[in-house]
Amino acid sequence: MPESERSSNPPPVEDEARLRALSTSLHFVEAVRREAPRLSRRLRAGRGEECGAEIHALVEGLRALAELFAELDHDLGERGPHERGVLARLLRDVVRDSQRADWLALAGRLDGTLLPAAPRWQHALAARLESVVAARPGEPATGAAGEPD
């Protein structure tokens, strides 16, 4: 198909859904990196009962991220199975700790597992998002500063 025809066709619905999922997950991981230390401090201070909304959002975000990582299995490279395992165990443990109201254990998971993993996940998501955007027909590739290459 000639380039002029390809660029005038809208991207498939799956591509748009994938872009949204990647973008949403990337924003979630960025928010986790910002907010998890504050949540951890509140949990360690015994204020876990006040953190229900944040814990619920964390669990839902981790679930969505786990689903996305399962879809991106081959795109995550050789570390994919390891990262999926870390995420699955973290999700299981966060749910268990919150159900038990074990705020110290939950804070430990945030500090010891989530925060160290978040930069790796952020990097993987950003790289995958960049490759999906670059592969879209009719859109100029952008460099790190967002300028056309």
Residue 73 pLDDT > 90? no
The vertex-143 CA angle with 142 and 144, nearest 5°, equals 130
For the stretch 31-48, pLDDT in tens is 999 999 999 999 999 999
- Helix 115-135 × helix 80-99 angle, to 10°: 130
pTM over 0.75: yes
pLDDT at 139: 54
C-alpha R_g of the chain = 18
The CATH number of domain 15-134, selected from 3.30.1230, 1.20.120, 1.10.287, 1.10.10: 1.20.120
Phi/psi for 144 (5° steps) reads: -60, -30
For the stretch 88-117, pLDDT in tens is 999 999 999 999 999 999 999 999 999 999
For the stretch 7-20, pLDDT in tens is 444 445 567 888 89
Domain boundaries, the chain: 15-134
Q: Retrieve residue 6's tokens.
A: 């390809």
- Residues shown for the chain: 149
One DSSP character per residue, 79-137 reads GHHHHHHHHHHHHHHHHHHHHTT-HHHHHHHIIIIIHHHHHHHHHHHHHHHHHHHHHST
Mean pLDDT of the chain: 84
